[in-house]
Amino acid sequence: MDRKVLSEPVAGSPTNPIPLPKSKKILESYYAGRRLESPLGGYLEVLGVREGDGGKGRVLLECNTSSLRFVLTVPKATRVEKTRVKEDIESGDDLFCPRHGSGQRLAKSGKDWVCALCGVSYGKS
């Protein structure tokens, strides 16, 4: 296969954020609403949350000391989470993020119920 050599944007630039390592600790801090420490010292400020591929979420972050951009991948909903949200949809209850808790409502995005902080779809209706 022919591979064209493209000039890659610099790692950490707005179009090429550096992926944060897969870490339960980082995710737990994020779900708890704590500020994330930057790998370069200082803190990561949340710039925005996007819906990623296959139900995953993408949190775009900027280091407040280096101004480098990072991205945190939020794992897609588990079967247990989906089942619980489905039960709440069926019973007409208010829908909350299974990870962020009762302070964070799920919002409708197309057919999906998405957490605005996770970017993850937890259910459909």
Per-residue interface string for the shown chain with Zn ion, residues 62-91, x marking contact by CB under 5 A: ------------------------------
If binding is defined by CB under 5 A, does position 115 make contact with Zn ion? yes
Least Å distance between CB 8 and Zn ion? Answer: 31
Q: Which is nearer to Zn ion, 68 or 95 (CB)?
A: 95
Q: How far is the CB of 34 from Zn ion (least distance, A)?
A: 14
Q: What is the dihedral of CA 104, 73, 77, 81, to 10 degrees?
A: -50
Q: Which is nearer to Zn ion, 92 or 103 (CB)?
A: 103
CB of 3 to Zn ion, least distance (A): 38
Q: For residues 84 and 123, what is the distance between their CA atoms, to the nearest angstrom?
A: 9
Strand spans (E) along 57-120: 57-63, 69-74, 96-97, 101-109, 112-115
Selected binder of Zn ion within 100, 114, 119, 122 (CB under 5 A):
100
**CA dihedral angle for residue 5, residue 10, residue 13, residue 15, rounded to 10 degrees:** 0
10 Å CB burial of residue 121 (0-12, 13-18, 19+) is buried
Binding site for Zn ion (CB under 5 A): 97, 99-100, 115, 117-118
